[in-house]
Structures are given as C-alpha cells and as structure tokens.
Amino acid sequence: MDRQLQVDQQSLVSAWQERLPALMEDGDSFSVQGDAADQNSLLIHFNAAGRQGYSLDFRCTYVDSREVAVNLLDAEQDGRVADERRDAVQLLAQQYTRQIHECAQALQGLTNP
C-alpha cells in the first residue's frame, strides 16, 4: 500500500498554521514554513512564553502519510544558543514534540485521506 504524502507543502503549511494554535500553551507563539530542502518537511519555530526567552526550532518530516519524525534543530535563550541538556530546554522540547505529533495526528484527514 502506497502511503506517500500526497499533499503539497504550501497546503501543509497552511493547515499547520490553522491547527497548531489550538494545541499550544497560552502565550507561546510559533511559525511554520516549508523546508526548501525537503518537500515532505516543515520547519517549526516556537517562542516559549515567560521571562526565560527560550525559542526552539524543529524539523517535522512526514515519513509517510501517517507518521512524522520530529527533530530538535536548535534551542536559543534570548537570541543565544542554549544548552539543550538543561532541564528547562528538555521539558520544552518534549512539550513541543508532543504538540507537533498531536497536530500531525489532527491533520490526518488531510494527509492520509
């Protein structure tokens, strides 16, 4: 059975921009864009609410029409590279990874019709 992703990247970006806010914590913000290097990948940037000034960048790649692989690319605090081993970064990374997976699942009607 062919489970290749049949949705164009721009439609995916739009769907993610609509769906992701419902899964986010209050005050957090994000941006989603297509990965120019890979039509099946999205680049998702999160800004965490609060005084710590964390931002995290992820690549979300559609392995097929139902499954995504999520990779943390970068973590910053106040515009400087943050230590990804710190508990605060680990917790945010886990939270955002979960939200990415939830969003991908919520959009299965689009990606896996």
Break the chain into its structural domains and give their ranges. 9-108
Confidence band for 51, pLDDT divided at 50, 70 and 90: confident
- In 28-85, where do the E strands start and end? 29-35, 38-47, 54-62, 68-77, 80-81
Confidence band for 50, pLDDT divided at 50, 70 and 90: confident
What CA–CA distance (Å, rounded) separates 11 from 2? 20
- Whether the model pTM is above 0.75: yes
Under 8 Å between Cβ of 76 and 82: yes
pLDDT tens for residues 2-16?
A: 688 889 999 999 999
What CA–CA distance (Å, rounded) separates 49 from 28? 5
What CA–CA distance (Å, rounded) separates 72 from 56? 7
